[in-house]
Structure formats: C-alpha cells, structure tokens
Amino acid sequence: MTTNGDLNNTIAMRASEPIVIDKAFAFRSLFVTEDEDNAAVRKAYRPFVLNDDIASSDWISQLELAKVTELSHNAAQQTGTRLRVLVLFGSLRTRSYSRLLAYEISRILFRLGVDVRVYDPRDLPMKDDRQHDHPKVQELRNLSRWSDGHFWISPEQHGTLTAVFKNQVDWIPLSTGSVRPTQGRTLGMAMVSGGSQSFNTVNSLRILGRWMRMFAIPNQSSIPMAYKQFPEVDGPEGGSRLIEGVNRDRVVDCVEEFVKYSLLIRDNFDLFNDRFSERPKMVPSEADREDLSKGVNGVDLKRL
C-alpha cells in the first residue's frame, strides 16, 4: 500500500503475455544483396548502402531485432514480396542531418528485409498547377503509389517542418483519378533540430499524414542538437553515423514499430481502404427489408 494510491492506474492495465523470441532471428539480416538487387534501383534509391565489411559489423548489425525480423521473413515467404517503403527527407544542405538520419533509418529497414527507396528532393519544382508532368514530380508520385508505407524525416525550422519537405508532400495529391497515392499506407516520423528537444515537427508531420489518409504509428523520434549526434564526417562505420545513446535507441524503437504495423496493415490493405461514403449505394429490396425485420439468424428483433 502507498499513501498516494495507484497513481499510474496499473490495476487497469491489460494483461499481456511475454513475446516468444526465436533466437535464430536475433541478429539475422534480411537485406537485399547486390546480386539480388536491381542495379538501377540500387544506384538511384539506395545511397545508404554500406560496403559488406562495414554493414556486417556496424551498430545496426548488432541490434537484437528477433521478433520483427521473424515477422518480416515470414511475410516475405508467404507473399513472395518484400515490404516496400519510401523514405523522404527535408533538407538540401550539403551536410543535411535529416538526410543522415534518413540513411540510418533506411539501413535498419534494409536489414529487416524491407525494399527501401530514398527519394532525393533536389530539382523538384515548387508546387504549382503547371508542372505535373515534370520528371521529378512523376518520379515522386510513382514511388508513393509503389509503396506500402512512408517514413518521413524533416528538420525543424522556425518551429515546424521545412519548405523542402512540405513541397514533396504537396506534390502527392490525395487522389489522381481513382488512384490514392497515400491512402492506406503506414507512416513513420522523425525529426532533427539544432537546438534543445522539440516535438513540433513530428507533431506537424503527424497532422499532415492524417490529412493524407495514412496510418501514422504511435511512436515518433526527435533528435535534438543533431550536429552533436553525427559528429564525424570521416569517423568509424563509414562516417556520419548516429552516435550511441537514448536518441538512437528511440529511432530503433520507431523503425521496429513501423515495420510491425506496416506488415499488419499491408495484409488488410483493401479492407482499410473500404469506406461507406465511397462505396456504390445499395437500396434494400423488399426481401432485404423482411430479413432485416427478422434480425440476425432469424431472431425477431421486434420482440427484443
């Protein structure tokens, strides 16, 4: 007994069973090898890939991710396809911390067997009503349609996301004819900032994702004083790697959770995209009305 009672209301918590871990998957990598990969895709969309010597011994290879690796492996075996994720970042700076974080997130996803593609926002025109056929616009829209989920990483500037990032999302419409480029996709979110801890940008990304009809995962990551978190250009493990600490652990949490949600929702993509307001209207027949009056399984609802 405590004099303050159960402040956290633990008595109301739902009981949960411990997750059973298959140790065979604990440090296993499901990444696409160079021989398996499409050379053009690898060159255009996988700038995060490290050489085999680094990738086999860096901090990401040493993460214990048994359960999510097992889930990803089993899903690929059952469906014959890898989870497909588009990664967007929001800075054009030569040393862009949102890009560096996007690469680290992509490496974790890649290890988990995800087909990861990072879009480069350079040369994407500002949103207008004339350049829908611009190659960079078409590239972005095609990648969004291809994807099962997105992971968004933006710097914080003036207390919110950057124009570079918002411009990318603005070029992805809610609908293109009968095609919904983002509806039903999952969304992971992370941000970097130059100052102290802030969640303004990830909260803005969450609102933006909701308007794009995406399933934003509950978790999110914020990296404060990013210039201290990626300290060395020519450092170990390929340089410009996220340093060890609670911020890095939180990033791993977010990626792990994102993959779990994405696998679950991908299996029910059509179900989650079915909406009453968008279905063809059906008018009940006389027989339907009679059945309705009898209720379910012949139970007469009028007597209840």
Site of tokens 């995800």: 114
Least reliable range by pLDDT among 79-88, 176-185, 217-226, 258-267: 176-185
Superfamily for the 22-270 domain: Flavodoxin domain (3.40.50.360)
Q: Is 120 helix (H, G, I), strand (E, B) or coil?
A: coil
Tokens of 104: 């680290």
Q: Where do the structural domains in the chain lie, given as residue ranges?
A: 22-270
Mean pLDDT (the chain) is: 91
> Is the sign of the CA dihedral 153, 159, 164, 165 positive or negative?
positive
Determine if the pTM surpasses 0.95.
Answer: no
In 3D, which of 265, 160, 176 has the Cα closest to residue 212?
176
Give the pLDDT of residue 180.
74
Percent of the chain with pLDDT over 90: 75
187-228: pLDDT as tens digits: 999 999 999 889 999 999 999 999 999 999 999 999 999 999
Q: What is the DSSP string of 161-206?
A: --HHHHHHHHTS-S-BTTB-SSTT-EEEEEEE-SSS---HHHHHHH
Tokens of 145: 């349609």
Give the pLDDT of residue 216.
97
Give the pLDDT of residue 297.
58
In 3D, which of 138, 140, 30, 51 has the Cα closest to residue 89?
140
Contact at 8 Å (CB) between 146 and 116?
no
Of 117 and 4, more confident = 117
Distance CA 288, CA 304 (A): 20
Give the pLDDT of residue 74.
97
DSSP state, residue 292: H
91-110: pLDDT as tens digits: 999 999 999 999 999 999 99
In 3D, which of 199, 196, 228, 217 has the Cα closest to residue 100?
228
Give the pLDDT of residue 165.
98
Length of the chain measured in residues: 304
